[in-house]
């Protein structure tokens, strides 16, 4: 007996209905990207390991899916290589599946630097792979929807990305909040409390403030070697409350002796100054605990969380000043964000935000009563299709119950019945599958009827 077929853990099949919903998300995001002048690119699913290794830290390197060399993949190995698994891996594997879209983008920019014009605005919607432990909301294969502009240090790029966030989630109907911070502000905070070298430890701890509370954050800071005096100096910063116009003067006083901190504060004030004039629908605010992959970002940090749904961030990103430097093209600043399509999908399902039209691909189905009736219907089917109305004719002259069940299961909203009587009169029977109502409609007015729906 053959083994039951299966798919690898952490991967998923998507049904037609799920794909229609997912495509609705992708199409909405893509249209907004295009509206703001971003151009599409794609990069290969697999990259040379030399491109990927060392770009994501030790944990990232561990989570890379490596591809065995073709043919005799052991031919370059020696018996001693089997004593060191990391060395063995490099001998038998030269390629790996991409871990994200950002490092391949940096490689693309460097490789094509003489063929693209800067600033370069690109979007990319493709799957990525991580050998992570599968669990709810975390998969080994998932899609990222990235949009970046590289080759410009202007804060207007950050403003534009926040506009994109506002428009995408507005179109999708997802209520959310945008959190903003700046890496330089975090560096300045570490500096003024006297722990400049412990910026990573400090920000990793305070990033958990909402999850574990102030007391446990302070304990974690102490466990990581941050002095009691520094922790005490940090408290009024963590507890900073009030409106933005009240927070900024306090921050300016706190960071006045840190050149880096003041630069970050001025950058953030510049972005927020422009945002105030745009009347965005999405609320945005300063969050001093926001770190998001601190080692990666050098300026603005952006994160989006859904309201009333506990799922983590649904979009995030920030500015990186030297991403292409890892491939030999230094001092090219960029800023970008990534939409988490899978989490957005879960939020929209929980909130029932998908429109009805995403539930069906076919809008109209002609019932098949036999050869003569099918011959009569075919030109009408073609007519509706040419008008852009998804239409199908049931292929077999099966029992009516079977054909109606097919229409119901595929969420087809309208069914047209054409028997001998309808063929003679030219008056077709149209059934609304949702309401159950049935009416007569002339063959000549068929296209107009559906075009006005």
> For residues 430 and 202, what is the distance between their CA atoms, to the nearest angstrom?
67
Ranges of CATH 3.40.50.800 domains, the chain: 360-451
* Helix, coil or strand: residue 185: helix
pLDDT value at residue 370: 96
Among 61-65, 204-208, 248-252, 259-263, which range has the highest average pLDDT? Answer: 259-263
| Third-level CATH fold of 360-451 | Rossmann fold (3.40.50)
As given in the structure block, the two tokens for residue 43 are: 């990069």
Strand partners, 128: 142
Would the pLDDT of 242 be above 80? no
CB within 8 Å of 332: residues ≥ 6 apart: 109, 118, 150, 151, 322, 323, 324, 325
Average confidence score pLDDT of the chain: 90
Averaged over 433-447, what is the pLDDT? 93
Would the pLDDT of 360 be above 80? no
- Of 283 and 295, which is predicted with more confidence? 283
Give Dmax over CA atoms of the chain in angstroms: 93
- pLDDT range class, residue 361, cuts 50, 70, 90: confident
pLDDT value at residue 84: 62
- Of 104 and 138, which is predicted with more confidence? 104
List phi, psi (to 5°) of 386: -65, -25
Is the bond preceding 119 in cis, omega lying within 30 degrees of 0?
Answer: yes
Instruction: Give, as one character, the DSSP assignment of residue 83.
Output: G
In tens, the pLDDT along 185-224 reads: 999 999 999 988 888 888 888 888 878 888 898 898 999 8
Ranges of CATH 3.30.930.10 domains, the chain: 176-306
- pLDDT range class, residue 331, cuts 50, 70, 90: confident
N-to-C CA span, the chain? 52
pLDDT value at residue 240: 83
In this structure, CATH architecture of domain 176-306: 2-Layer Sandwich (3.30)
Would the pLDDT of 452 be above 80? yes
| Residue recorded with tokens 């432990």 | 133
In tens, the pLDDT along 85-135 reads: 666 677 677 899 999 999 999 999 999 999 999 999 999 999 999 998 887
Global pTM reads 0.88
Averaged over 306-315, what is the pLDDT? 90
> For residues 182 and 286, what is the distance between their CA atoms, to the nearest angstrom?
9
Report how far apart, in Å, the C-alpha atoms of 434 and of each of 271, 401, 407, 411 are: 49, 16, 11, 9
> For residues 148 and 334, what is the distance between their CA atoms, to the nearest angstrom?
7
């Amino acid at each position: 007996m053959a083994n039951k077929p299966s798919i690898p853990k952490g991967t998923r099949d998507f049904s037609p209905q799920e794909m229609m919903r997912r495509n609705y998300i992708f199409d909405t995001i893509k249209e907004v990207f295009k509206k703001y002048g971003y151009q599409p690119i794609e990069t290969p699913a697999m990259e040379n390991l030399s491109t990927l290794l060392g770009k994501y830290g030790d944990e990232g390197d561990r989570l890379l899916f490596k591809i065995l060399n073709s043919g005799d993949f052991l031919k370059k190995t020696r018996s001693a290589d089997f004593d060191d698994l990391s060395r063995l891996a490099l001998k038998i594997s030269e390629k790996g599946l991409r871990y994200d879209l950002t490092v391949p983008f940096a490689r693309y920019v460097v490789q094509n630097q003489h063929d693209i014009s800067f600033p370069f605005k690109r979007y990319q919607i493709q799957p990525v792979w991580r050998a992570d432990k599968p669990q709810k909301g975390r998969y080994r294969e998932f899609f990222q929807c990235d949009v970046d502009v590289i080759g410009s240090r202007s804060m207007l790029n950050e403003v534009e990305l926040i506009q994109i966030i506002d428009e995408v989630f507005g179109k999708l109907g997802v209520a959310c909040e945008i959190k903003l911070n700046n890496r330089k502000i975090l560096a300045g905070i570490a500096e003024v409390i006297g722990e400049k070298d412990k910026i990573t430890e400090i920000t990793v701890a305070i990033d958990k403030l909402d999850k574990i509370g102030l007391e446990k954050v302070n304990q974690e800071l102490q466990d990581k070697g941050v002095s009691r005096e520094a922790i005490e100096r940090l408290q009024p910063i963590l507890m900073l409350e009030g409106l933005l116009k009240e927070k900024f003067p306090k921050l300016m006083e706190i960071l006045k002796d840190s050149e880096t901190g003041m630069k970050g504060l001025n950058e953030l004030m510049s972005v927020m100054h422009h945002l105030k004039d745009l009347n965005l629908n999405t609320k945005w605010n300063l969050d001093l605990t926001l770190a998001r992959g601190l080692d990666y970002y050098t300026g603005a940090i952006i994160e989006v969380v859904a309201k009333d749904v506990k799922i983590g961030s649904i979009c995030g990103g920030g500015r990186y000043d030297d991403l292409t430097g890892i491939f030999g093209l230094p001092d090219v600043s960029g800023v970008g964000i990534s939409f988490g399509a899978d989490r957005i999908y879960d939020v929209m399902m929980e909130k029932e935000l998908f429109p009805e039209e995403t539930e069906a691909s076919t809008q109209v189905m002609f019932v098949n009563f036999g050869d003569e009736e099918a011959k009569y219907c075919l030109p009408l089917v073609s007519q509706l299709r040419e008008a852009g109305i998804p239409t199908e004719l049931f292929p077999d002259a099966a029992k009516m119950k079977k054909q109606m069940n097919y229409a119901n299961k595929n969420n087809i909203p309208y069914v047209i019945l054409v028997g001998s009587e309808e063929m003679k009169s030219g008056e077709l029977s149209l059934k609304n599958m949702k309401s159950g109502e049935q009416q007569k409609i002339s063959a000549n007015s068929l296209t107009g009827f559906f075009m006005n729906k």
